[in-house]
Amino acid sequence: MEQKATESKPVIVSGIQPSGQLALGNYVGAMKNWVKLQADYFGIYIVVDLHAITVRQNPAELRQRALSFAAQYIAAGIDPEKNIIFMQSHVPQHSELAWILNCNTYMGELNRMTQFKDKSTKHEDNINSGLYTYPSLMAADILLYQADLVPVGHDQKQHLELTRTLAQRFNHYYSPTFKVPEPYIAASGARIMSLQDPTKKMSKSDDNPNNYIALLDEPSVILKKIKRAVTDSGTSVTYDAKNRPGLANLLTIYSVLGEMAIDDVITQYDGKGFGVLKEDLGNLIVNYLTPFQRKYKELMSEKNYLESILKESAAKAQHIAQRTLSKVHRKVGFVQFK
Binding part of the chain for ligand TRP, among 137-145, 164-172, 186-194, 276-284 by CB under 6 A, reads: 137-145
- In the complex with ligand TRP, which residue's Cβ is closer, 48 or 84? 48
Binding part of the chain for ligand TRP, among 23-31, 135-143, 210-218, 266-274 by CB under 6 A, reads: 135-143
- The answer to whether 119 contacts ligand TRP (rule: CB under 6 A) is no
- In the complex with ligand TRP, which residue's Cβ is closer, 14 or 211? 14
What does the per-residue mask of binding to ligand TRP show for 147-166, with x meaning CB under 6 A?
---x-----x--x-------
Containing H/E element for 171? Answer: helix 157-173
CB within 8 Å of 99: residues ≥ 6 apart: none
Q: Which residue in the set 32, 51, 244, 316 belongs to the binding site for ligand TRP (CB under 6 A)?
A: 51
Beta strand pairing call for 11-16 and 42-47? parallel
- In the complex with ligand TRP, which residue's Cβ is closer, 138 or 222? 138
Distance between CA atoms of residues 222 and 283, nearest Å? 8
Least distance in Å: CB of 107 to ligand TRP? 19
- In the complex with ligand TRP, which residue's Cβ is closer, 98 or 229? 98
Identify the CA nearest to 283 among candidates 196, 220, 214, 213.
220
Binding part of the chain for ligand TRP, among 9-17, 208-216, 257-265, 289-297 by CB under 6 A, reads: 9-17
- In the complex with ligand TRP, which residue's Cβ is closer, 15 or 246? 15
For ligand TRP (CB under 6 A), the number of binding residues is 12
- The answer to whether 142 contacts ligand TRP (rule: CB under 6 A) is yes
CB within 8 Å of 227: residues ≥ 6 apart: 278, 279, 282
* Contact indicator for 38, 80 with CB cutoff of 8 Å: no
| b/e code 74-112 from CB counts within 10 Å (16+ = b) | bbbebebebbbbbbbbbbebbebbbebbbeebeeebbee
Least distance in Å: CB of 309 to ligand TRP? 20
Q: Is 283 helix (H, G, I), strand (E, B) or coil?
A: helix
* Contact indicator for 88, 48 with CB cutoff of 8 Å: yes
Q: Which of residues 159-218 bind ligand TRP (CB under 6 A)?
A: 159
Whats the size of the chain, residue-wise? 338
- In the complex with ligand TRP, which residue's Cβ is closer, 13 or 281? 13
Binding part of the chain for ligand TRP, among 7-15, 97-105, 123-131, 197-205 by CB under 6 A, reads: 7-15
- The answer to whether 15 contacts ligand TRP (rule: CB under 6 A) is yes
Least distance in Å: CB of 15 to ligand TRP? 3
Containing H/E element for 303? Answer: helix 303-332
- In the complex with ligand TRP, which residue's Cβ is closer, 30 or 229? 30
Q: Is 182 helix (H, G, I), strand (E, B) or coil?
A: strand
Ranges assigned E (strand) in the chain:
11-16, 42-47, 84-87, 149-151, 182-184
Q: Which residue in the set 23, 30, 48, 131 belongs to the binding site for ligand TRP (CB under 6 A)?
A: 48
User: Crossing angle, helix 303-332 and helix 59-75, to 10 degrees?
Assistant: 100
Phi/psi at 10 (5° precision): -60, 145
State the catalytic residues.
119, 201, 204
At 187, the amino acid letter reads: A
* Contact indicator for 62, 56 with CB cutoff of 8 Å: no
Interacting residue ranges for ligand TRP, rule: CB under 6 A: 13-15, 17, 48, 51, 138, 141-142, 150, 156, 159
